[in-house]
A and B are shown apart, each in its own frame.
Chain A
């Protein structure tokens, strides 16, 4: 079955830039989505269709995709950005079956 691969953890100091990657064979053809999940809360969509930001999401969150890798960038990370981040995309079969990456714990301290 199709898989998306993320690093288990990323750590930055406040104000630094955090980059979280997501690799998958179908990413050249399929959009990536990114979700933030803080402890004990439901996930929140922070990036859709590779690089679009929903209303209400701070500008420091951005997304990009190149080849088989999508990247979520948090510019000037803040303590409140500490959370698990999950990428999501579809396999290439055309049947609209999705998959989440394993998640990346972002630590800001």
Chain B
């Protein structure tokens, strides 16, 4: 079955970097775009952007330019989110979510909690 499995929780200090992985299985990885979504504690969902898994071309939402980078390793069917210069308000659960057949974010990963604290 279609599955997205994300990497485990991370605890980082301010200013550090983190790389979250999202490993896909059960479908052709390069056929469907991958979205990234942030959810701060007790808050709503924020769409961060998406990456075209066929071309590697990313699209970032306005608030997620500069420190946020989407990337792929198609040899292992994995998408990545890298965040640099971490700040306390980057503390959140980060989700990957796959588009399918014209529908947005059909399948979601389990989420990765990134905690930024000194």
Q: Tell me the A residues contacting B by CB distance below 8 Å.
A: 1, 33, 35, 37, 42-45, 48-49, 52, 54, 84, 86, 88, 95-103
User: B80-118 CB contact bits vs A (8 Å, 1 = yes)?
Assistant: 000000000000000101000011111011110000000
User: B44-86 CB contact bits vs A (8 Å, 1 = yes)?
Assistant: 1111011000000001011000000000000000000000000
CA distance A88 to B97 in the complex (A): 13
Per a CB cutoff under 8 Å, which of B61, B62, B104, B111 touches A88?
Answer: B104
* Contact size range, B: 20 to 34
CA distance A98 to B59 in the complex (A): 10
CA distance A86 to B108 in the complex (A): 14
CA distance A49 to B14 in the complex (A): 40
The chain B residue sitting closest to A1, CB to CB, is B62
Please give, as numbers and ranges, the residues of chain B lying within 8 Å of A48 by CB-CB distance.
102-104, 106
